[in-house]
Amino acid sequence: MKPLPLLVLLLTCAACTDFPELEGREQPNVRSAAYPKLVPLQDILGPPIDPVNEAAEVEEDLTARREALAKRAEALQNAQTN
């Protein structure tokens, strides 16, 4: 028997399973617990980041990395020719 039909059969049988009722199973302190305080998302995330400044910082970092790699590649090429 191929694995795909067997998998479909197993999933179909699992979908027909009766799950026990959960009503009344929680602890008494859970029922009377207060809801958590809701906080606005802006308060959690902090001030928004300026995408123009962020892009400039990333560009500077990438330019510096490119220049360092170019110097390293040039040094390696010069070392091989000597």
Q: How many structural domains are present in the chain?
A: 1
What confidence score (pLDDT) does residue 82 get? 59
**Distance of alpha carbon 49 from alpha carbon 40, whole angstroms:** 17
What confidence score (pLDDT) does residue 9 get? 86
Could you report the average pLDDT of every consecutive run of 10 residues in the chain (82 residues)?
Answer: 80 77 78 87 86 95 97 91 62
4-23: per-residue pLDDT in tens? 888 888 888 877 777 777 77
Q: Which domain holds residue 53?
A: 3-81
What confidence score (pLDDT) does residue 61 get? 97
What's the N-to-C CA distance of the chain in angstroms? 67
